[in-house]
Amino acid sequence: MNKKIVIISNLSWNLYNFRLSLMVAMKNAGYEVIAIAPQDEYSQKIIEAGFRFYDIKMNAQGINPFEDLGTTYQFYQLFKQISPDIICNYTIKPNIYASLIARLLKIKTINNIAGLGILFVKEGLITRISKKLYRVSQSKASRVFFQNREDHCLFIDSGIVKAEKCDILPGSGVDTKRFTPKPKAKSETIRFLLIARMIWEKGIAQYVESARAIKKSHPNVEFCLLGFLDVANPGAITKAQMNAWVEEGVVNYLGVSDRVDEVIHSADCIVLPSYYREGTPKTLLESGSAGKPIITTDNVGCRDVVDHGINGFICEPKSAKDLQLKMEMFLALSSEEKMKMGKESRAKITREFDEKIVIDKYLESIANYV
C-alpha cells in the first residue's frame, strides 16, 4: 500500500499554480498524494490532475480565533479520516494549525515558510502571538523549509525552531521548460508589467505614482497590472480605485490569467516594488526564466532574484522616486542591452532556481521520514 502524503495550502489556486509539479513528482515516486485546501474553481482542476481533494473552511486573512479553532478541528477530523504518513504544509495557517494537530496525532510534518507577509513587518500584538504559535507548532516538525536566508535566520535567532531542522529552498522553484524566452512582437510601445495580488504592500501605489510621472515624458510607455483584485485582505485595492487609475490612463489592468507565461512574453520588463515580506516571489522566478529583465525592491526574497545592473535593477522599498529612476534607467538602455539583461535573467534562474532543486529536496526529506 502506497504511503500517503497530504499537501495543504490556504487556496486551491496556490496548490494548482505553485505546487502541482511537486505533487506530480511525489505521485511518480510512488506516493498517494492528497490535497487539502478551501474549495475554489481550481479544486476541480486538482481532481482532474489525478489527486484526491478535501475541502476545508479557512479564512486565510482572518484573525478571528473562533474561526481558526473551527479550522483546527477540521484538520483533526480530516487527519483521522485520511491517516496520512506525512503532511506537507504551505502558508501561515496550515503551517501553524495543521502542525499542531499533526503533533497531537504524531504525524510527521514538512513545513514551508513561504514568506511572512505583513505579519512580521510591524512588531505588535498579532506578531507576538504569531511568533508564539509558530514556536509551539514548529517545535515538533520533522523539517522546516524557508524560501530565503532572512526568514531562516529570523526563526532560528528568535528561538522559534532549531537550526538542525531547517533548510533553505530556492523559493518555490520554477518550471524552466514552461517559462522559456520567446521573442516579443516588435512594437514602439515599451511595456512594464507588475504581476501580484492587488494589495498595497506589493508596491502598487509606488508603481502607479512612477507610471504617472514617466508617462509625462514617455507617452509610448505602457504600465500593466495582472493579478487578483478585491481579495479578502485588509490591504486590498478596491475595484473602484483600480477603475479610477485605468480611467485616468495611467495603467492598464489585465485582470487574471491561467496563461501567465503568455502575458509575461508580451512585456519588456517585469516590475515588483513589494515591501511585503516575501518568500521568493514566484512571478519573478517565472519572469526571469522567460528571459525578462526585472526591477524589484531591496526587500526580503525579492533581492535574491536580481543582480543589480546585470539582469535588472534593485530599488528602495516604498520609494516611488527611486522606482521611477530605475524604470527610466531601463528605458535608457539600448535594445541590445535590454536583450542582454533578459539573457542574464534566464541564466540566473536556470542556474539557481530550477524547480528540480526544490522537488529533489522534498523527495529526499520524505524518503527520510516515511
The pLDDT tens digits of the residues spanning 3-43 come to 999 999 999 999 998 899 999 999 999 999 999 999 999 99
pLDDT tens across 325-337, in order? 999 999 999 999 9
Place of cell 530599488: 315
**24 part of a folded domain:** yes
**pLDDT at residue 239, rounded to an integer:** 93
Q: Is 211 exposed, middle or buried (0-12, 13-18, 19+ CB in 10 A)?
A: buried
Dihedral Cα 338, 342, 347, 348, nearest 10 deg: 90
The answer on 200 and 164 residing in a single domain is: no
Per-residue model confidence (pLDDT) at position 368? 87
Residues 231 and 159 in one domain: no
Are 70 and 43 contacting, i.e. CB atoms less than 8 angstroms apart? no
Q: Are residues 229 and 270 in the same domain?
A: yes
Residue 123 domain flag: yes
Mean pLDDT of 108-113: 95
* Average pLDDT score over residue span 212-238: 90
Question: Sorting pLDDT into bands at 50, 70 and 90, what band is 121?
Answer: low
Could you tell me if 340 and 362 lie in one domain? no
Same domain, 204 and 146: no
| Same-domain status, 161 and 253 | no
Does 181 fall in a domain?
no
Given a cut of 80, is residue 124 above it in pLDDT? no
**Lowest mean pLDDT, pick from 130-139, 237-246, 271-280, 308-317:** 130-139
Residue 74 has pLDDT above 60, yes or no: yes
**Same domain assignment for residues 32 and 166:** yes
Q: Look at residue 130 in the predicted model and tell me its pLDDT.
A: 76
Q: Give mean pLDDT, residues 102-112.
A: 95
> Is 184 among the domain residues?
no
- The Cα 3–Cα 17 span in angstroms is 24
Mean local confidence (pLDDT), 218-247: 90
Say yes or no to pLDDT of 291 above 80: yes
> How much is the pLDDT for 355?
94
Whether residue 124 lies inside any domain: the answer is yes
Residue 365 lies in a domain: yes
Instruction: Tell me how far apart the alpha carbons of residues 89 and 33 are, in angstroms, rounded to a whole number.
Output: 13
**Does residue 154 share a domain with residue 282?**
no
Q: Is residue 120, in this structure, part of any structural domain at all?
A: yes
Burial string for 218-242 (b: 16+ CB within 10 Å, else e) reads eeebbbbbbbbbeeebebbbeeebb
Select the more confidently predicted residue: 124 or 76.
76
Could you tell me if 129 and 35 lie in one domain? yes
Alpha helices in 139-196, H assignment, sequence order: 149-157
Q: What is the model's pLDDT at position 132?
A: 84
Task: Look at residue 136 in the predicted model and tell me its pLDDT.
Answer: 86
Q: What range defines the domain where residue 155 resides?
A: 4-173+354-369
Q: Lowest-confidence range among 87-96, 230-239, 317-326?
A: 230-239
CATH of the domain at 241: 3.40.50.2000
pLDDT over 70 at 370, yes or no: yes
Q: CA 25 to CA 178: how far, in whole Å?
A: 16
As a whole number of angstroms, the distance between CA 12 and CA 50 comes to 14
Which pLDDT score is estimated for 118?
A: 56
359 lies in the same domain as 347: no
pLDDT tens digits along 139-187: 889 999 998 888 888 889 888 889 999 999 988 899 999 999 998 878 8
Angle between helices 20-28 and 355-369 (to 10 degrees): 50
Are residues 222 and 113 located together in one domain of the fold? no
Read off the pLDDT of each residue in 212-221 and give the average, rounded to a whole number: 95
Tell me what pLDDT residue 105 has. Answer: 96
How confident is the model over 40-50, as a mean pLDDT? 95
Q: Does residue 180 belong to any structural domain of this protein?
A: no
pLDDT-based confidence at 115, cuts 50/70/90?
low
3-state secondary structure of 220: coil
Domains in the chain: how many in total? 2
Check if the beta carbon of residue 271 is closer than 8 Å to that of residue 207.
yes
Report the pLDDT value the prediction gives residue 238, as an integer from 0 to 100: 93
- On the question of pLDDT at 119 being above 70, the answer is no
Which pLDDT score is estimated for 120?
Answer: 56
**Co-location of 160 and 243 in the same domain:** no
